[in-house]
């Protein structure tokens, strides 16, 4: 198979949801379809239970699972599908944001009873920023929930995207009969507790009285609803989906394996194959012959005696080959990988070749950082792995003066891995760690001690947001830095960051220094 064919048959995507909406269940059912796993329950939930926030064994266990489920590849009807796992716990949202940069599309799971929830809203913002095509799966139709029309309105409003239902539910909860497939014009009947897929019955003409035979009185309601659907939601324009202007919507029940085949069959048809990637220098087309790829995730070894890590690289163009010399652009060093890992469901194997859209795991002894680019020699720097302003901030201090080197190294490596963000105050040189959730502080402290033998101490600092500063007006920047010298820091790439201690302070800065742009993400 040629490069172009290999690219066209690949779909690399992520499943996102608010915790408990059914992401893990849906992932598992998709894997079952692909024959990648054979029993339900094989995909371990990577959820950290609420009660376990201080249970470090739980965190370690979760880290172990998250290596195994980082990438789940499988074949379905000649399509190579790569599902990239996104941590559900909101404290690890930054991980999820980064993983989204390696996804060519996304499936969003929404609980029919709960509708759009906080985490979904946040993640959708990232998809919008990157213009990632999204498909919505409304889950748990076997339970009573919101009216389908109301829910679609809610999704349009809350996720700020137009929707287009491709299946339509026939009743819900205990009365759930199944879905009408608008795309294929057939119905699939729901049989609770039957985990096998029911054959769909063709219904080109929904007015056919045969329909009553299958769904009784619900037939009339379905006809009325579909009439309305046709008025409100015209036929899907696939290009609008690919341009991230419209989200196709499916209804089903992941737990009951219902509605999954419908979504998968449409997904392989319409979801994008690997897309071009923007670098600081130029746009890279996947079909270019020369290999390029970027690191979007780094996973440290679970065994503290082996400090090696696994860097997850998304292949962007060309063919990646084992034992071939490549350029690590940031380090300007030649690198070669003898045991690149490919991921097929839970299995890992050494891979000889990988194509655009694929993810390979590269063993690394501490050379890679998130966002690093590997090429055949060209100097390219991938864009689009932004850092987001953290929500929580603390000073990190050395609690064991004998171990300051270990502490510095530990902090450095954990930041490269993307566990949290480091800002160095330009005023007093103190290190500020910023995180999305409280759990990360505990993770950092634990890992510094266990992997680096270093002890740290946290001290409070009251901050509202970290803002990356951009301006053409150097004079105003210098003036601002002078006036706010206590609040200026550098991020790990040496970029200027304003640590605003309140929303008011930020507002005043924006007002008084109109030529300065304050950004909540590191790329703009």
**Which residues on neighbouring strands pair with residue 257, listed in sequence order?**
none
In whole angstroms, give the CA distance from residue 290 to residue 208.
56
CB of 434 to ligand G4P, least distance (A): 26
Q: Using the rule CB under 6 A, is 21 a contact of ligand G4P? A: yes
CB of 18 to ligand G4P, least distance (A): 7
CB of 25 to ligand G4P, least distance (A): 3
- Interaction with ligand G4P in 227-266: which residues (CB under 6 A)? 253-256
Q: Give the residue, chosen from 14, 16, 25, 182, that forms a contact with ligand G4P under the rule CB under 6 A.
A: 25
Q: Give the residue, chosen from 9, 11, 140, 447, that forms a contact with ligand G4P under the rule CB under 6 A.
A: 140
CB of 263 to ligand G4P, least distance (A): 13
In whole angstroms, give the CA distance from residue 464 to residue 354.
43
- By CB atoms closer than 10 A (0-12, 13-18, 19+), residue 219 is buried
In whole angstroms, give the CA distance from residue 314 to residue 297.
9
In whole angstroms, give the CA distance from residue 384 to residue 279.
8
- Cβ proximity to ligand G4P: between 50 and 482 the closer is 50
In whole angstroms, give the CA distance from residue 350 to residue 336.
14
In whole angstroms, give the CA distance from residue 105 to residue 286.
15
The piece of 13-21, 158-166, 227-235, 299-307 that touches ligand G4P (CB under 6 A) is: 13-21
Of 357, 349, 347, 294, nearest to 81 (Cα)?
A: 357
Q: Using the rule CB under 6 A, is 115 a contact of ligand G4P? A: no
Residue pair 353/398 in contact by the 8 Å Cβ criterion: no
Q: Phi and psi dihedrals of 441, rounded to 5?
A: -60, -40
Q: Using the rule CB under 6 A, is 17 a contact of ligand G4P? A: yes
CB of 174 to ligand G4P, least distance (A): 11
In whole angstroms, give the CA distance from residue 503 to residue 507.
6
In whole angstroms, give the CA distance from residue 445 to residue 410.
10
- Interaction with ligand G4P in 35-54: which residues (CB under 6 A)? 45, 47
CB of 69 to ligand G4P, least distance (A): 11
Q: Using the rule CB under 6 A, is 197 a contact of ligand G4P? A: no
Taking the mean position of all CA atoms in its chain, how far away is CA 79?
21
- Cβ proximity to ligand G4P: between 258 and 291 the closer is 258
Q: Using the rule CB under 6 A, is 139 a contact of ligand G4P? A: yes
Q: Using the rule CB under 6 A, is 88 a contact of ligand G4P? A: yes
Tokens describing residue 410: 């530990």
- Cβ proximity to ligand G4P: between 138 and 443 the closer is 138
The piece of 100-108, 122-130, 135-143, 502-510 that touches ligand G4P (CB under 6 A) is: 135-143
Pairing of strands 292-300, 309-317: antiparallel
| H helical segments located in 243-391 | 260-270
Site map 498..517 versus ligand G4P, x via CB under 6 A: --------------------
- Cβ proximity to ligand G4P: between 45 and 287 the closer is 45
Rule CB under 6 A: which residues touch ligand G4P? 17, 19-25, 45, 47, 88, 139-140, 142-143, 253-256
């Amino acid at each position: 198979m040629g490069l172009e064919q290999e690219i066209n048959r690949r779909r690399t995507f992520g499943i996102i949801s608010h915790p408990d909406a059914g992401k893990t269940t849906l992932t598992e059912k998709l894997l079952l379809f692909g024959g990648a796993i054979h029993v339900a329950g094989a995909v371990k939930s990577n959820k950290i239970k609420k009660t376990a926030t201080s249970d470090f064994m739980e965190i370690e266990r979760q880290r172990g699972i998250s290596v195994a489920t980082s990438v789940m590849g499988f074949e379905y009807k000649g399509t190579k599908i790569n599902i990239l796992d996104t941590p559900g716990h909101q404290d690890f949202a930054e991980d999820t944001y980064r993983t989204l940069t390696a996804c060519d599309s996304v499936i969003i799971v929404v609980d029919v009873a709960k509708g759009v929830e906080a985490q979904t809203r946040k993640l959708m913002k990232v998809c919008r920023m990157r213009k990632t095509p999204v498909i919505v799966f409304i889950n748990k139709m076997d339970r009573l929930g919101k009216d389908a029309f109301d829910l679609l309105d809610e999704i349009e409003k809350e996720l700020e995207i137009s929707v287009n239902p491709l299946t339509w539910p026939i009743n819900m909860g205990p009365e759930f009969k199944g879905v009408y497939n608008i795309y294929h014009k057939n119905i699939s009947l729901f049989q609770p507790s039957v985990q096998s897929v029911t054959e769909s019955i063709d219904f080109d003409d929904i007015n056919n009285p045969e329909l009553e035979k299958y769904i009784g009185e619900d037939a009339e309601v379905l006809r009325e609803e579909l009439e309305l659907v046709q008025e409100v939601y015209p036929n899907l324009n696939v290009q609008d989906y690919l341009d991230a202007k419209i989200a196709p919507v499916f209804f089903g029940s992941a737990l009951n394996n219902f509605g999954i085949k419908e979504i998968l069959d449409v997904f392989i048809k319409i979801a994008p194959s690997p897309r071009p990637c923007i670098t600081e220098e130029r746009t890279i087309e996947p079909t270019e012959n020369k290999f390029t790829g970027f690191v979007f995730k780094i996973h440290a070894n679970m065994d503290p005696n082996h400090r090696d890590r696994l860097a997850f690289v998304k292949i962007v163009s060309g063919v990646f080959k084992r034992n071939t010399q490549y350029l690590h652009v940031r380090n300007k060093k030649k690198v070669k990988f003898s045991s690149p890992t490919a991921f097929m469901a839970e299995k890992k194997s050494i891979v000889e070749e990988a194509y655009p859209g694929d993810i390979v795991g590269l063993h690394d002894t501490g050379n890679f950082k998130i966002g690093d680019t590997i090429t055949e020699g060209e100097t390219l720097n991938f864009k689009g792995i932004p850092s987001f302003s953290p929500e929580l901030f603390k000073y990190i201090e050395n609690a064991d003066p004998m171990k300051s080197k270990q502490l510095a190294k530990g902090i450095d490596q954990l930041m490269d891995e993307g566990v949290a963000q480091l800002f160095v105050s330009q005023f007093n040189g103190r290190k500020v760690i910023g995180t999305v959730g409280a759990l990360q502080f505990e993770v950092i402290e634990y890992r510094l001690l266990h992997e680096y033998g270093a002890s740290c101490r946290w001290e409070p600092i009251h901050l509202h947001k970290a803002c990356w500063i951009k301006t053409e007006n150097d004079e105003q920047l210098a003036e601002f830095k002078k006036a706010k010298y206590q609040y200026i820091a550098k991020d790990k790439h040496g970029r200027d960051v304003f640590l605003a201690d309140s929303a008011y302070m930020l507002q005043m800065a924006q007002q008084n220094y109109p030529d300065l742009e304050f950004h909540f993400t590191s790329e703009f």
